[in-house]
Amino acid sequence: METKQTDCNKLKAPIRCIVKLGGAAITCKNDFEKINEDNLVTVSSQLREAMMMSGSSTSAPVLDMDWSKRPGSKVVDADPKEQQQAVDYNNFIVIHGAGSFGHFQASKSGVHKGGLTKPLVKAGFVATRISVTSLNLEIVRALAREGIPSVAMSPFSCGWSTRDRNIASADVSTVVQALDSGFVPVLHGDVVLDESLGCTILSGDVIISHLAAHLKPQFVVFLTDVFGVYDRPPSEPNAVLLREIAVREDGSWSVVNPTFQGTDKQVEISVASHDTTGGMVTKISEAAMIAKLGIDVYIVKAATEHSQTALSGKLIDKIPEDWLGTVIRYVS
Amino acid sequence: METKQTDCNKLKAPIRCIVKLGGAAITCKNDFEKINEDNLVTVSSQLREAMMMSGSSTSAPVLDMDWSKRPGSKVVDADPKEQQQAVDYNNFIVIHGAGSFGHFQASKSGVHKGGLTKPLVKAGFVATRISVTSLNLEIVRALAREGIPSVAMSPFSCGWSTRDRNIASADVSTVVQALDSGFVPVLHGDVVLDESLGCTILSGDVIISHLAAHLKPQFVVFLTDVFGVYDRPPSEPNAVLLREIAVREDGSWSVVNPTFQGTDKQVEISVASHDTTGGMVTKISEAAMIAKLGIDVYIVKAATEHSQTALSGKLIDKIPEDWLGTVIRYVS
């Protein structure tokens, strides 16, 4: 895969974490274009805490950075003051999925299959972007209200494009500049131009893999709506949470915790059996590619004590017994 | 001025028009973050008509491209259908100002003066972007509802930056790709990173000059809230509308219609006397720089029959007697 790219060494400070806000965690999945406000507030607050450099006072008042009207309000609530304490943040990048935004527009038009000359596909491209950028704006605002200096970076606007659904051009220099200036870039799954198909969908997970490969964060966190990766659909009664997955040099992976006596193979088949696009095997495979770079990947339920632990980076040293989630980690 | 740029010859088809939606025309200037909905609907409708290729049926049903919820509504109004008539559009670029969006946030923080290390400036950067991108989203949606395949392109996200307030990097290739794929890019005045100051404001007018210089549209239209450029504030009783301004090779300009017998000099002084940042002399000077390239500039009141005429491109051939507005044009 040939891509235009910027040397990651250009970054003034290393990236601590790339975090994915899963669509299922921050939106109400069965409610058209509805944000899960409670989760989003908690996630934003946890992110703020995780981003703060050790030594920064957690008791400093939060500087609300959203000075725009709220729906139903006529005025701005924020009262920006001259005197503010500077807070230093670790470098974080946020990427979010679409959840109940964008899905209707994309499936109605088939924009993922390309064909921009068709009026419906072109309209769907516009409509899908409107939906996902609406969500992006709300997430940027939620983070800003928690004092996180978030800036929207829409992949299509950044000039990112694909060829046969693989990333063809995804210059990360704009993301690097934003990070170096002290901002937290907020990207999202988007519709983009595709050199061979005309257009397609660039998923948030593919964006994360790309950014992780080029910017080498210390760890990656996927915030989702279940406790992690299970051996079968988590709604099934005997579903077992896979706590640790080991990734080998060749990219293959296996579950190392819990240990299934001599039934490793069965577990993997069982996972595959309920996989659909974007399902668990896809997720593990994408995560394994990141882990292969020596970057820990944590898949964890959003807005819980477990997500807070994962975002803090403490899992790098030790995974507590009572921590619920899935660690995907390289073993040499 | 050294800038990264793309050869305009890469464009598949020439650009017909770059149009500026003035902040005063599309927002309620004294009402915080309030859009002038009536004007925006009319402007969008006029744009659609102007963009349609001659030969396209103006009676074809409009394909609503905004399939997202409206405030207060729980469902999408649009009913995207499989069978749609393709409409071919001339290449247009839309740029809008901020009006009652962004101004409060920018002035409260002094983000235009730079200094990103100050917490208030950094917060103002985030807050200003939230405000102007909120407006951008609403304008994209208004255009999409009129069937215009509009796509948001926020200058900061596009990686545009300045050095001492002048454009340092403003790669237009993403804009070109969007145009070539049949979309209408919608840009806006934005806060951007500045190599020497840290950050500053990149105005919509500067963006237009840059795009006009690199992409050579046939004409440029400024939609504003008055009939055009006057010899003094238009609220004054004897204000005279300057109907035609001639720009010479050296960039100097003079009013050629109406003719003031031997008092040309006085008119220019009178204009200067009420000028403030972004005032009339600045506006004429910016427009003169575009006209010098052989590109007609029309300054006209938004949502009037006169704006419709200007957007149609008919003024290139002949300026009707009853047309109200200001033409700024190169004379060799």
Binary contact (A109, B174; C-beta < 8 A) = no
pLDDT interval class at A1 (50, 70, 90): very low
pLDDT interval class at B281 (50, 70, 90): confident
Q: How far apart (Å, rounded) are the C-alpha atoms in residues B307 and B22?
A: 12
* Interface ipTM: 0.92
Residues of A in contact with B78 (CB under 8 A): 127
Token pair in block for residue A100: 């109940």
Q: Which of A199, A202, A152, A145 is nearest to B137 (CA)?
A: A152
Q: How far apart (Å, rounded) are the C-alpha atoms in residues A292 and A314?
A: 20
Stronger pLDDT, B260 or A314, i.e. the higher one: A314
Sheet holding A15-21, edge to edge: A150-152, A184-188, A91-96, A15-21, A219-224, A296-301, A326-330, A244-247, A253-257
Residue B271 confidence (pLDDT) above 60:
no
Mean pLDDT of A83-107: 89
Q: How far apart (Å, rounded) are the C-alpha atoms in residues B28 and A287?
A: 49
Alpha carbon separation from B271 to B240, B248, B268, B283 (Å, rounded): 11, 19, 5, 11
Nearest residue in chain A measured CA to CA from B171: A159
pLDDT, one tens digit per residue, over A116-159 is: 999 999 999 999 999 999 999 999 999 999 999 999 999 999 99
The string of DSSP letters for A170-236 reads: ---HHHHHHHHTT-EEEEE-EEEEETTTEEEEE-HHHHHHHHHHHH--SEEEEEESSSS-BSS-TTS
Q: Which of A74-78, B131-135, B178-182, B326-330 has the lowest mean pLDDT?
A: A74-78
Residues of B in contact with A121 (CB under 8 A): none
Residue B110 identity (one-letter amino acid): G
Residues of B in contact with A86 (CB under 8 A): 117-119
Mean pLDDT score across all residues of chain B: 88
Q: Which of A245, A328, A250, A233 is nearest to A287 (CA)?
A: A328
pLDDT, one tens digit per residue, over B157-214 is: 999 999 999 999 999 999 999 999 999 999 999 999 999 999 999 999 999 999 999 9
State the count of interchain CB pairs (< 8 A) between A and B.
196
Is B253 touching A (CB cutoff 8 A)? no
How far away is chain A from the Cα of B72, in angstroms, using its nearest Cα? 10
Residues of B in contact with A199 (CB under 8 A): 181
Residue B116 identity (one-letter amino acid): L
DSSP letter (8 states) at residue B113: G
Q: Which of B299, B317, B153 is nearest to B222 (CA)?
A: B299
Q: Which of A157, A177, A180, A188 to mutate to test the interface with B (most CBs of B within 10 A)?
A: A157
Residue A2 confidence (pLDDT) above 70:
no
Q: Which of residues 78-107 of B touch A (CB under 8 A)?
A: 78, 80-82, 84-87, 101, 104-105
How many other C-beta atoms can be found within 10 angstroms of the C-beta atom of residue A285?
14
Alpha carbon separation from A148 to A43, A91, B28, B129 (Å, rounded): 12, 11, 30, 14
Binary contact (B126, A183; C-beta < 8 A) = yes
User: What is the reported pTM?
Assistant: 0.93
Binary contact (B157, A154; C-beta < 8 A) = yes
Q: How far apart (Å, rounded) are the C-alpha atoms in residues A300 and A219?
A: 13
Residue A5, pLDDT score = 46
Q: Which of A55-59, A173-177, A313-317, B311-315 has the lowest mean pLDDT?
A: A55-59
Q: Which of residues 293-322 of A touch B (CB under 8 A)?
A: none
Residue A156, pLDDT score = 98
Q: Which of A106-115, A177-186, B82-91 has the lowest mean pLDDT?
A: B82-91
Mean pLDDT of B265-276: 44
Residue B276, pLDDT score = 41
pLDDT interval class at A168 (50, 70, 90): very high
Report the run of H or E that residue A91 belongs to, with start and end: strand A91-96
Angle between helices A280-291 and A264-273 (to 10 degrees): 120
Binary contact (B140, A130; C-beta < 8 A) = yes
Q: How far apart (Å, rounded) are the C-alpha atoms in residues A197 and A204?
A: 19
pLDDT, one tens digit per residue, over A220-248 is: 999 999 999 988 888 888 889 999 999 99
Is A62 touching B (CB cutoff 8 A)? no
Binary contact (A177, B161; C-beta < 8 A) = yes
